[in-house]
C-alpha cells in the first residue's frame, strides 16, 4: 500500500480532506493531510512573513519528521506550487506527484502570474483593498463549485484568508532530478476554470504525464469525495 500526502489548496486547510480520508485509509493506505502555516487550525500563525517557501518547508518537515519515503504527494490547486517546490528539494523521497486541478509550475512561475491577466489583476487589487496589502481574501465558494447548503455550512467557518506572498512569490526550480518523478494530472471537468484549462492543455501537449479527468468541480474533495478517492486509489497503486 502507498504512503499518500495530501496538500490542500489556497484558503483551505487539512480539514478539507475529511471526507476523502476514510476511503483511502479503508483501502489500506497510510495518509497524511497537513495544514500549511497560517491556514485552518494553524491560522494563529498567520503573519506577513508567511510565503511560498514557508509552505514548502512545512511539507519538507513532515516528510523528515515522519521519515516518509516513496511518497505519493498530491497538491490541490495552489498546492501544486507547494509540491513542485518539495519535489525540487527532495526528489529522492517521492514516488509520484499528483496535481489535482492544480498549478503545475515551471521555473519562476507564481500563482498570480499563471492565471489570466484580468484574474491576476483582480487578485492583486483584492489584496491591496481588502487584505491590507498582505492577505488574499476568500473568494466566493461557488467559484470552486461548492453550492450545496450543507457544504457551505461546513466550509464557511473553516476557510480563511491566504498569505499574499504565497500567491505572488515566484517558484525557483533548478533540480532536474524532479523531472524523473512520475506525474499524474487530474482535471476536474464539470466546472472548468480558465487557468486550469490552459494548464491541462499544456500537460497533454507535453506528454509524459498520466492525465485523467474527474467529473467534479474544483473542490472535488468536498463535492465528490468517493469518486476522487477511487481515482486516487487507482493512481497510488
For residues 90 and 69, give the distance between their C-alpha atoms in angstroms, rounded to a whole number: 10
C-alpha cell recorded at residue 197: 484549462
**Active-site residue (options: 77, 84, 110, 187):** 77
Cβ-based neighbours of 43, under 8 Å, separated by 6 or more: 13, 160
Burial pattern 11-22, b for ≥16 Cβ within 10 A else e, equals bbbbbbbebbbe
For residues 13 and 194, give the distance between their C-alpha atoms in angstroms, rounded to a whole number: 24
Residue given cell 500537460 in the structure block: 203
Whether 187 sits among the annotated catalytic residues: the reply is no
Cβ-based neighbours of 61, under 8 Å, separated by 6 or more: none
For residues 31 and 168, give the distance between their C-alpha atoms in angstroms, rounded to a whole number: 30
For residues 52 and 63, give the distance between their C-alpha atoms in angstroms, rounded to a whole number: 17
For residues 55 and 120, give the distance between their C-alpha atoms in angstroms, rounded to a whole number: 21
Instruction: Give the chain's end-to-end CA distance (angstroms, integer).
Output: 7
Kindly list the catalytic residues. 77
Amino acid at each position: 500500500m502507498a504512503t499518500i500526502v495530501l496538500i490542500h489548496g489556497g484558503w483551505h486547510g487539512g480539514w478539507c480532506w475529511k471526507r476523502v480520508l476514510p476511503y483511502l485509509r479503508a483501502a489500506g493506505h497510510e495518509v497524511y493531510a497537513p495544514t500549511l502555516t497560517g491556514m485552518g487550525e494553524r491560522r494563529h500563525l498567520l503573519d506577513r512573513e508567511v510565503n511560498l517557501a514557508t509552505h514548502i518547508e512545512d511539507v519538507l518537515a513532515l516528510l523528515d519528521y515522519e521519515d516518509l519515503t516513496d511518497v505519493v504527494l498530491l497538491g490541490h490547486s495552489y498546492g501544486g506550487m507547494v509540491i513542485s517546490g518539495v519535489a525540487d528539494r527532495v526528489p529522492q523521497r517521492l514516488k509520484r506527484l499528483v496535481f489535482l486541478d492544480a498549478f503545475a509550475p515551471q521555473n519562476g512561475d507564481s500563482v498570480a502570474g499563471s492565471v489570466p491577466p484580468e484574474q491576476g489583476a483582480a487578485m492583486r487589487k483584492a489584496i491591496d483593498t481588502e487584505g491590507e496589502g498582505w492577505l488574499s481574501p476568500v473568494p466566493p465558494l461557488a467559484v470552486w463549485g461548492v453550492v450545496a447548503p450543507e457544504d457551505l455550512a461546513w466550509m464557511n467557518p473553516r476557510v480563511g484568508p491566504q498569505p499574499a506572498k504565497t500567491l505572488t512569490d515566484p517558484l525557483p526550480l533548478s533540480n532536474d532530478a524532479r523531472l524523473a518523478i512520475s506525474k499524474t494530472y487530474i482535471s476536474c471537468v464539470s466546472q472548468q476554470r480558465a487557468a486550469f484549462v490552459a494548464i491541462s492543455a499544456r500537460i497533454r501537449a507535453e506528454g509524459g504525464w498520466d492525465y485523467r479527468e474527474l467529473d467534479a468541480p474544483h473542490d472535488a474533495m468536498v463535492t465528490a469525495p468517493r469518486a476522487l478517492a477511487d481515482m486516487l486509489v487507482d493512481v497510488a497503486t
